[in-house]
């Protein structure tokens, strides 16, 4: 009997389409792999024309308590979501934009050493399809266009990123991310939830990979939900978007 109850609970959590949207939520959304389908290169992603207005409608219904949380830069987020300028966390927490539009930026010592980017870029020149994405604070090395290079890229990143006390290497979707240990997506929940319009709401964090797990834990620590796209939406951003469209149009309570 207990096993049946546990199985039913898992099914209800794994089928997020069945989770009734609530107007007392504070909604935190990853971008790549959650709102948008992964592309061979980060700049190649396609933004459905209905997505920004859907997010705007949900933000309105939640009194503004919607935020994006991404490893992308703030400029990239604004480019992708135009004309929206959403409350957001960029570069895994290095940059925060509050509902007021004010921004908070991490100290420079949390940026990945510039020499690592130079070394990685030089090393992969002879590996067609392997791309080094340099950001102000972090690095991502993509091998989606050269999946046979996964082990080579893993070994290369481990050899270059030699400061385990301060920086970590995380597996992403056909990529590896290097970030400071003090920068995580948990900052979206921890920084925004104490303040209006997020305060007093139930945090719900939706994401798809390892870098989102900190956000899941932060949301759950405040009595909320962490929805993994792989489990809750069969790994399909299109299903996330349909769920959001339903939310925008529903009579949530």
Residue 243 has a CB neighbour count (10 Å cut-off) of 19
Catalytically annotated residue among 15, 24, 30, 109: 30
51 alpha carbon, distance to own chain's centre: 16
30 catalytically annotated? yes
Which residue is it, tokens 């834990």? 217
| CA 57/CA 36 separation, integer angstroms | 18
Residue 147 has a CB neighbour count (10 Å cut-off) of 10
CB of 55 closer than 8 Å to CB of 86 = yes
Judging by DSSP bridges, how do beta strands 131-134 and 103-105 pair with one another? Answer: unpaired
Residue 235 has a CB neighbour count (10 Å cut-off) of 14
- Which residues are catalytically annotated? 30
């Amino acid at each position: 009997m207990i096993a049946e109850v546990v199985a039913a609970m898992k099914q209800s959590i794994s089928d997020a389409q069945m989770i009734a949207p609530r107007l007392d939520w504070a909604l935190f959304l990853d971008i790549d792999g959650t709102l948008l389908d992964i592309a061979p290169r980060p700049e190649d992603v396609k933004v459905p024309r209905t997505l920004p207005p859907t997010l705007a409608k949900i933000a309105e219904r939640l009194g503004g308590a919607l935020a994006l949380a991404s490893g992308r830069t703030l400029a990239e987020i604004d480019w992708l979501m135009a004309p929206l300028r959403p409350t957001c966390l960029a570069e895994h927490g290095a940059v925060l934009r509050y509902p007021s539009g004010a921004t908070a930026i991490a100290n420079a010592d949390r940026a990945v050493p510039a020499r690592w980017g130079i070394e990685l870029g030089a090393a992969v020149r002879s590996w067609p399809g392997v791309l080094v994405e340099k950001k102000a604070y972090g690095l991502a090395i993509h091998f989606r266009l050269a999946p046979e290079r996964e082990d080579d890229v893993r070994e290369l990143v481990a050899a270059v990123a030699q400061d385990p006390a301060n920086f970590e290497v995380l597996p992403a979707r056909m990529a590896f991310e290097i970030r400071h240990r003090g920068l995580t997506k948990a900052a979206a929940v921890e920084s925004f939830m104490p303040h209006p319009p997020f305060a007093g709401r139930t945090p719900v964090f939706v994401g798809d990979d390892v870098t989102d797990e900190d956000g899941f834990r932060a949301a759950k620590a405040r009595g909320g939900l962490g929805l993994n796209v792989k489990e809750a939406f069969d790994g399909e951003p299109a299903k996330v978007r349909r769920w959001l469209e339903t939310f925008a149009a529903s009579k949530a309570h």
